[in-house]
Chains A and B, each alone.
Chain A
Amino acid sequence: MTTGMAVLGGALGILVLGGIAVYNEGAVRVDVREKTGDREHIHLVVPAIVLPVAVRLVPRDKLKDARHDIRPWLPAIKAASEELGRCPDGPLVEVDSNHEHVRIHKLGGSLFIAVDSEDETVLVSFPLEAAADTVSQLAR
């Protein structure tokens, strides 16, 4: 009874701590809605804390080109993520035309990108800190 309770307590503790960590790190959200054809809808939510780890698990040779391309830009991405994190919330880029609307804005510690075109609507959001961490992992 005592051992069982201890195991249950431990498992609950890990779950709660894990939940807090995931909540603190935020999530990467991708939402794609097609407006034509099959009208597919893809909705993806990945805890941001998982991304740097996931990148580590991908075989090195699969990401060889990506690593090579991203390495020169790593300091810039890192600096931008850190500085954007310090900036007040607000719109960064807004592009409107008859056919397309693009919005990039910063809210809290996350960057939100929204593209609304005649064919589809794409919404992507990710925590800035996670972006820097993931890119760092990618460059290793």
Chain B
Amino acid sequence: MSNRKVGDVILDVKNISLSFGGVKALTDISFDVREHEVRAIIGPNGAGKSSMLNCINGVYQPQQGEITFRGQHFKHMNSRQVAEMGVARTFQNLALFKGMSVLDNIMTGRNLKMKCGLLAQALHWGPAEREEIAQREFVERIIDFLEIQLHRKTPVGRLPYGLQKRVDLGRALAMEPQVLLLDEPMAGMNVEEKQDMSRFILDVNDEFGTTIVLIEHDMGVVMDISDRVVVLDYGKKIGDGTPHEVRNNEDVIRAYLGTEH
């Protein structure tokens, strides 16, 4: 597929359990993600995939278990702290800043890189101005990469859905993350858009060496682009391995085809 090297474990999820009141969303989930790999989380609706992603992202705090990112534990961390550590994400139901242009949306992703104070920005003071220009150059590279040059100034809310998904990816990429979490990047897309998105994901992985954790429903896509796959069902892990291994796992087949338990 490509010549990148899969490295050591970068993200380690251990014995995570999460419940909302009496409802158990995740039960004792463990898996790891290696540097530079494409790791997929799959499972039927309501299997707990998004909950898992939200735990890694610091949106939910699991009641049990721990998550280690490059040797650092992050229990009780909020999304902002997770973002500072180098984890970016996209959203299943687009969470773009709809009133803002494509450019501004992606620029917000550079927020953490901006060091100049409020007053300096307001006065367009030298260093603040230079900082803005430098960040803008980086953002232009992302815009080129995602092939959305023509829509630079368009308010995001007016773009077609497939392009909005790209902007969402662009905003996450602007953070120069080490790990990129993608929550159903291809949901609701047609075949052509899916192919484009798959290509972008693989290119990101290839060119920037970004580790990717993705949730996806389209089995064909998952099997094509992932190195390893975790399968969840009813909040439990029922399979873990290469696409080939997972495809032949009986529990997985049963969960997907719905034969008796």
Q: Do A and B come from one complex?
A: no
